[in-house]
A and B are shown apart, each in its own frame.
Chain A
Amino acid sequence: MAPEGAARPGALQVGQVIDGFRLEERTHQGGMATLWRVTAVDPQAQGVPDLPLIMKLPRIKGGDDPTTIVGFEVEQMILPALSGVHVPRFVAKGDFTRLPYIVMERIAGPSLRARFDAAPLPLDEVVQIGAKVATALHDLHRQHVVHLDVKPSNIMFRPAVDGQGGQAVLIDFGLSRHDQLPDLLEEEFELPMGTSPYMSPEQVQFVRNDPRSDLFSLGVLLYHLTTGTRPFGAPTTVRGLRQRLYRDPVSPRSLRADCPAWLQEVILRCLEVDPAQRHQTAAQLAFDLQNPDQVALTERAERLARSGRLGVMRRWLAAIGHESKHVVGAAELTARSPILLAALDIGGAQPALLEAVRHTVQRLLQTEPGARLACLAVMKINRIGMDELVDADGASRHLNLLVQLKHWARPIVQALASANGDAPAGRMTFHVLEAPDAAAAIIDYAHKNQVDHIVMGARSSGGLRRYLGSVSSRVVAESDCTVTVVRALATRD
C-alpha cells in the first residue's frame, strides 16, 4: 500500500541520494528487504555519527503486503528506542508517505548464518556463542524488548580486536514487541508469527510479550549448533508447529556423545514448554554457560530417550488445556529475577560482619523469589600467572575458602529450603577467584556475569586498612550495578 509517487526501492541506483544519504552499493537483496551501503553527504550538518552505514528498504510486493509493511513499521518504531553495543545504532528513517527506509550502523562482523551451516560446531564455540547471544538478549530485555525472531541470520558479531569486541548484535526487530510501546502486530496475523524452527510454544499460541520466548529460540539454536539437527524440524503447518507443545526433542547427548551433561541440562531447560521451567532471564542462562561447574543437574542432564507414548499423551493432553498465562513485561521479569553477588572476605572479616552480610542477603532473597545468589571469595595472589596455584598449598587454600563460603551460606540454604520445601537447586553458586586485586576481580566478575546487585561488608576501621583504602569503596565507585555495603552494628560501651 505504498502511496502513489513513492520511489520504488527496486528502481534505486548507485550514486542516488535519498534524504542526504548516498547509495554506494547494494549489499543484499532478500525477500523482505534490500540493503544498501550508504554514506552521509554532509555528516556534520545531518548530525550523523562517524560510522559505516547501511540503508534498509522493505520490499513491498504488489498492493497489499501487511507482513512486510507492518514489520517494517514495527522496526522503525523499536530500533530508535534501543541503544548499546548489542543492537545496530539507529541513524535515520523515512516514512511510508514517501520512501520507507531505515539508516543504521553497519555491523562489520559476520552473521551467525555462516557458522551455522558448519554445525555441529566444537563445543567450546557453541558455549561461547550461547553466552554472547544470551548477554545480548539480556541487554535487549532490560530495554523492554522481546525479539521474537532469534535465529542465525538475525545474530551478528562485532569484529574482535585484541580480545576486545566480538559482542553479539541482534538485528531485525520486525516481529519484536516493546512492552512500553503499542503492539502494531496485535491484530495483524491469523497464523503464529515467527520462524518455524525457532518459534516458542507461547508464540505458537499468539503470546508476544514473554522474554523467555527468546530463550527458547536460543535453545533451539544451541541444540542445532551442538547436534547439527533441529529439535523440532522446520514445520510448515500450524499443526506441525503445535507439536513442540507436547513432543519433546531427542536429547542432544544421544546425538552427540561428547556433549557434556551440564550443556544438555542447559539446552533442554531452554526448550521447556512451560516458560516458568526455563531460565527466568537471559542473564541467568549466560551465567550457566559461563559457569558450567555450577550448573545444577537434574533429570534433564541424563535424559537419553524421549518420552514414551504415555508421556507424549500426557503432554498432549496438557497442551490441549494449556491456556497461556498472563506474563509480565520483559524488563519487569528481568528485574524480578536478579543475580545477586555476595562478595565475602571470608578469611579476614569479623564474624559479626559476615553475619550482618548474611542477614542482608537473606532479606533480599526473601523479597526476590526469582533471584540467584553467587557467593564469591577472592584468594589473593601476588600476580596472575606467577604463583604456583596448582601446587598443594594453593589448591588447599582454594578448597578451604570454598568450604568456608559454603559454611557461611548454610543458614541461607536452610531458610530457602524450608520456605520452598526442597533444596534451592541452582539458585546458589560458589566461586573462589584467584586474583592479585580483590576489588578489580569482584568488579570484573560482576560485569561479566551481569550481576544486578553486589552485597559486601564494609572495611573495618583499622588504621592499616584505612591507609590501604577499602575494597568496598572501589567496588561502589567502579561497578556498573547496585552495591550494598553492610556494616556490623558497633557494640556500645
Chain B
Amino acid sequence: MKLALVADLHANREAVTAVLTHAQASGAQRCVFLGDFVGYGADPGWVVDLLREHVARGAIAVLGNHDAAVVQGPLPSMIPEARQVVAWTRAQLSPAQLEFMASLPLSVTEQDLLFVHANAWSPADWGYIVNRADAVRSLQSTACQITFCGHTHVPALYHLTATGKSGDFSPTPGVAIPLSAQRRWLAIPGSCGQPRDGDPAACYALFDSDERILTFQRVPYDHDAAAAKVRAAGLPTSLAERLIHGA
C-alpha cells in the first residue's frame, strides 16, 4: 500500500491542500499524519476537520506538541509569542474539535512501522532528532524496522545496521529510495505547513509499504496567500515571513 506521510501541517490550509492533491495524483491510498496539525497557521479549524474526515476513513494521526498545548491551553513556561498563538488557536476550535485532538495517540505501530511525532525514546517529552546520535537513540528505543516522525521541520533519513553503523542523508525530492530490510531506518518527511530548510515548498513523503520504497516530495503552493492569512488573523508577522522564506 502506498502511504502519504504528512508532518507538521500547522494550520496551513494552502499547503495541506497542495500536498494532498499531489499525494492523490501520485497514487497514495492512505494518509499518515505525523502531528502538529495546528499552531502557527491561520486555518486550524479547517485542518482539524479534514483530519477527522481522513481518520474516519482509516488514516493514521498522532499527537504533536502544538496539538497537546492547544488541548491543554497555554502554559506559563511558554514564550509570549507561543502563548499568543496557542490562545488564538484554542479560541478558533470548537469543543468537538478539541476533543478529537485530545483523543489522538502519541504513537502508532503497524506491523514493523512506527509513527510518532518527535521520537521513540520518550514521545511525550518532545525531544528533537537533529543528528545521527539522536536518530540512533530513537532507533534503539523501538523494535520497529522503520520509524517515521516529524517535529524538526527538516527532511532527513537516518539508518542503522545491526552492527551499530549509522548514517544520515539529506534526501533529494522525487528520488525513490529503497529501504533495505538489512538495516533500520528513521525518516523525517519535513514540514508540510512550515518548511524551515530554506525552501518554502511544502514537504511530505510517499512510502510504498509492499516494495519498501520511500520518496521524499516537495510541493510548491501559494505561500503568499497563507502568509497573508496569518497577518490578517493578527498572528505574529514573523510567522508569515517564515512561510515566504521557508526558514
Q: Which residues of A contact B (CB under 8 A)?
A: 1, 64, 66, 69-70, 73, 76-77, 80-81, 95-97, 180-184, 186-188
On chain A, the residues within 8 Å of B182 by CB distance are 69-70, 73, 95-96
* Cα–Cα, bound, A80→B212 (Å): 13
A184 to B184, CA, bound (A): 11
Q: Other CB < 8 Å A-B pairs besides A181-B175, A183-B169, 20 of them?
A: A1-B162, A64-B163, A66-B161, A66-B163, A70-B182, A73-B182, A76-B178, A77-B177, A77-B178, A80-B178, A81-B176, A95-B181, A180-B175, A182-B157, A183-B167, A184-B159, A184-B180, A184-B183, A186-B167, A187-B166
Q: B187-231 interface mask toward A, CB cutoff 8 Å, 1 = contact, 0 = none?
A: 000000000000000000000000000000000000000000000
In angstroms, Cα B208 to Cα A250, docked, is 54
**Bound complex: CA of A183 vs CA of B175, how far in Å?**
14
Are A184 and B167 interface neighbours, CB within 8 A?
Answer: yes
CA distance A181 to B214 in the complex (A): 11
Q: Is the CB of A181 within 8 A of B177?
A: yes
Chain B binding site: helix, strand, loop or mixed by DSSP?
Answer: strand
Contacts of A76 in B (CB 8 A): 178, 180
B57 at the interface (CB under 8 A from A): no
Contact partners of B180 in chain A: CB under 8 A: 73, 76-77, 95-96, 184
Chain A binding site: helix, strand, loop or mixed by DSSP? loop
Q: Smallest CB–CB gap between B163 and chain A, Å?
A: 6
A81 proximity list for chain B (CB < 8 A): 176
Can you list 15 A-B contacts (CB < 8 A)?
A1-B162, A66-B161, A66-B165, A70-B161, A73-B180, A76-B178, A77-B178, A81-B176, A96-B181, A96-B182, A182-B159, A182-B167, A183-B167, A184-B159, A184-B167
CA distance A182 to B161 in the complex (A): 13
Instruction: Give bound CA distance, A64 to B165, whole Å.
Output: 13
B26 within 8 A of A: no
Query: How many positions in chain B have a CB within 8 Å of any CB in the partner chain?
Result: 18
Closest 8 CB pairs of A and B: A182-B169, A187-B165, A95-B181, A180-B172, A180-B175, A96-B182, A186-B167, A73-B182
Question: Shortest beta-carbon distance, A4 to chain B, in Å?
Answer: 14
Q: Do A188 and B169 have beta carbons less than 8 Å apart?
A: no
What distance in Å separates the Cβ of A10 from its nearest Cβ neighbour in chain B? Answer: 20
Contacts of B161 in A (CB 8 A): 66, 70, 188
Contact flag A97-B167 (CB < 8 Å), given A70-B161, A182-B157, A184-B159: no
- Kindly state the separation between the CA atoms of A77 and B163 in the bound complex, as whole angstroms: 19
Give A81 to B162 CA distance when docked, in angstroms: 25
> Contact flags (1/0) for B64-94 with A, using CB distance below 8 Å?
0000000000000000000000000000000
A419 vs chain B, min Cβ distance (A): 32
- Measured CB to CB, the closest approach of chain B to A181, in angstroms, equals 6
Q: Which of B172, B175, B178 has the most CB of A within 10 A?
A: B178
Query: How distant is the Cα of A96 from the Cα of B180 in the complex, in angstroms?
Result: 9
Distance between Cα atoms of A96 and B182 in the complex (Å): 6
Q: A97 touching B162 by the CB < 8 A rule?
A: no
Q: Return A334 CB to nearest CB of chain B, in Å.
A: 16
Contact residues in B for A181 (Cβ distance below 8 Å): 169, 175, 177
Residues of A within 8 A of B176 (CB): 81
- A residues near B175, Cβ cutoff 8 Å: 180-181
The listed residue with most B CB atoms (<10 A of its CB), out of A69, A180, A186, is A180
Contact partner, A97, options B165, B172, B181, Cβ 8 Å: B181
A69–B182 alpha-carbon span in the complex (Å): 9
Chain A positions within 8 Å of B165 at CB level: 66, 186-188
Cα distance A371–B116 when bound, in Å? 48
CA distance A180 to B166 in the complex (A): 17
* CB neighbours of A180 from chain B (8 A): 172, 175
CB distance from B131 to the nearest CB of A (A): 14
Separation in Å of the B102 CB from the closest CB of chain A?
38
**Measured CA separation A66–B182 after assembly (Å):** 11
Distance A73 CA – B184 CA, assembled complex (angstroms): 13
Nearest to A189 among chain B residues (CB) is B165
Task: Give every chain A residue within 8 A of B181 (Cβ-Cβ).
Answer: 95-97
Q: A64 to chain B: which residues have CB within 8 Å? A: 163
Among residues of B, the one whose C-beta sits closest to the C-beta of A76 is: B180
Cβ–Cβ < 8 Å partners of B162 in chain A: 1
Q: Which residues of B contact A96 (CB under 8 A)?
A: 180-182
| Nearest chain A CB to B209 CB, angstrom units | 14
B58 smallest CB distance to A (angstroms): 27
Contacts of B178 in A (CB 8 A): 76-77, 80
Point out the residues of chain A lying under 8 angstroms from B169, CB to CB. Answer: 181-183
Least CB distance, B20 to chain A, in whole angstroms:
26
> With A69-B182, A180-B172 given, is the CB distance from A187 to B177 under 8 Å?
no
A95 closest partner in B (C-beta): B181
